[in-house]
Structure 1
Amino acid sequence: MPTAIAVTSADLVLSPSDHQTPTAAVLQPPSAQSFDAALADMNVHLERHGYVVALYPASIPAAHERRMHAVRSVLETDRIALLKLDLPPLGVAVLARQLRQLSICDFSAGVVASAARLLSHYVYAGALLGTVAKLDRIPVSLKAHAKSWMPGAQFAVLANPEPQLIKVGGEETLAGPEFSTQLAFGRGQLSSTYVTDTLAPSWKIQTAHEVGLPAGSAAWWGTPKVVEFAAFLPDISVLYQLVSSVRREQCHWCGIQLIGDRCGFCSAPVAPAENQKHAAGVLNRGST
């Protein structure tokens, strides 16, 4: 059975692009599920899949994060990876879908878990905002704060891979990917015209499709006046090539196989001299 991929809310489970990609498990918050039920559910996932890789935004409530760690502690298992991500909610959702795609490939659970750090560098996650007055996830200048009080002002913000903020209607543009991607976007209390008519063409997006806006997005971006978006690699063959191009190591602490500079299960770092980068030429515009 493939490694189980888990998320912390149902709205982070995006529809797959094929019939082979498995769905994701949802790890419920304490308000929605008792601790005993959470233990029982996790046991079922471990029995069916062997390993569980859970992705969650750094913005989830502390009680929810403590619950997941408590479940892992009580079960006394090293087969649960808890990956806390600084990505906005929709960025977490597209990354979770990519790991779901990889889970059916011939990769070990350790490689799938550590692939999250690698693939996150290729997720362009941002939002169109009606105000940046309460945005605290990326740097916002005093000038931008002042402009956010102007009627009708809108801002395009990139949170990953590098923070950027521009005022819509100016000469600046958001730095986009240099490789072919698809775009997922979810609307709050704003029109998505800028995202579909301006951003997507400038980024040479293959396909843009609307999804439900995750419940945690308004809090992450500091406003319900938001259209969140995330550009990502959709093709499993490209994802497979990208992950396969990185040298595999064995974690010196827990013994599981990994790629990159850190174990996804125990977080132990790899010695700097052993760090490997993906092979040149893996990603090229139009390759997907």
Structure 2
Amino acid sequence: MPTAIAVTSTDLVLPAPDRHTPGAAVLHPPEQLDLEGALTETGALLERHGHLVALVPPWLPRSTVQRLHTVRAILETDRIALLGIDLPPLGTALLARQLRQLSVCDFSPGIIASAARLLSHYIYAGALLGSVAKLDRVRVPVGLGAHARSWSPSAQFAVLAHPTPHLAKLGSSGGSPGKSRGGSHGKPQGGPHGGPAVMPPGPGFATHLTFARGQLASDWVAAELAPAWQVQGVMENPLPAGSPGWWGTQKLVEFAAGIPDLSVLYQLVASVRREECRWCGLELIGDRCGFCAAPLTAPPAAPPPASTARSRP
């Protein structure tokens, strides 16, 4: 059986792109399953798949993260990888799907776990927001003017959170937000500081775009962003429950673009030099093991402290 790929809620499980891609396991949070049930659930996954790779983004509730670490500690196993990948919710779901695609390939569990960090660099995750007043997780400067414009009912901001943070104020010509009027509405017409807005920088490689609507009535992502990024396809998905909290508003349309082709994903991972973890012995790519978190190379030894006493002849 392929290595199990796990997420922490069903809304982070995107539809499989083909019949060969397995589904994702869902590790239920404490409010849905008690500790005994969680141990049984995880133990069954290990018995069936051998190894388990779970995405543990930092925006999860603290109780959920603690439960995952508790289960791994009680089971006393080194076959569970808890990967702390910092992506928005929809981007996290997209990464999980890519790992599910790779799980049926001839990669060892260690390679699949350490490939998550590599693949995350090729995911473009962002959102169209009706307000940036509570945009705290994205490291982009939000000036006082953008904060003030957030109170406007027709305000729209295009925000790219990953891989390079970017914020642009989109213009409005009246009518319903994001709806086309005269062929110009929804196009960038003014930056957050009064200058010309710039479309969020897109990927320079073939991608597929997934988007999810919140309480913002706009077609900008599918009508404007997708053609500008020259994506190969567009798919709408239900909004993950954690998205409004991550973006700081219910008025949003979240999007994430990533490599859809399994052959490209395979070549990308296979082209990286493989190493052996000096701690657990699993294969890895990159500079850190996905299962035991040991670095590829041992940290340099600290130099001996200089003697304060002077030697005498």
TM-score by length of 1: 0.92
Checking the alignment, whether the CA contact within 8 Å between 1:4 and 1:24 is kept in structure 2 is yes
Match of 1:137 in 2: 137
Alignment-derived partner of residue 276 in structure 2: 250
Q: Quote the Cα distance in structure 2 between the aligned partners of 1:168 and 1:119.
A: 30
After the TM superposition, which of the residue ranges 3-12 and 263-272 deviates more from structure 2? 263-272
The answer to whether the 8 A contact 2:132-2:142 is kept is no
- Per-residue CA shift, 1:62-93, capped at 9, x if unaligned? 00000000000000000000012210000000
1:230 aligns with 2:256: yes
* 1:282 alignment counterpart: none
Q: Secondary structure at the match of 1:57?
A: coil
Alpha carbons 1:132, 1:140 under 8 Å: kept: no
Query: Quick check: 87-96 or 167-176, which moved more?
Result: 167-176
Count of residue pairs the alignment pairs up:
273
- Structure 1 vs Structure 2: percent identity of aligned residues? 63
Which aligned pairs between 1:1-288 and structure 2 lie closer than 5 A? 1-138=1-138, 139-142=140-143, 143-169=145-171, 170=189, 171-271=197-297
**Structure 1 residue 185: deviation in Å?**
0.3
Q: Deviations over 1:131-168 (max 9, x none)?
A: 00011011332232222223311001111111111111
CA RMSD of aligned residues (A): 1.3
Assess if the C-alpha contact under 8 Å between 1:126 and 1:159 holds in 2: yes
Amino acid in the other structure paired with 1:157? V
Alpha-carbon distance, 1:17 to partner: 1.0
| Inter-partner Cα distance in structure 1 for 2:218 and 2:104 | 34
The answer as to whether partners of 1:250 and 1:258 remain within 8 angstroms in 2 is yes
1:182-228 Cα deviation digits (max 9, x unpaired) = 00000000124110111001000111110010000000000110100
Q: Report the TM-score, using the length of structure 2 for normalisation.
A: 0.85
The secondary structure found in structure 2 opposite 1:149 is coil
Q: How far apart, in 1, do the equivalents of 2:218 and 2:293 lie?
A: 38
CA contact (8 A) 1:56 1:92 kept: no
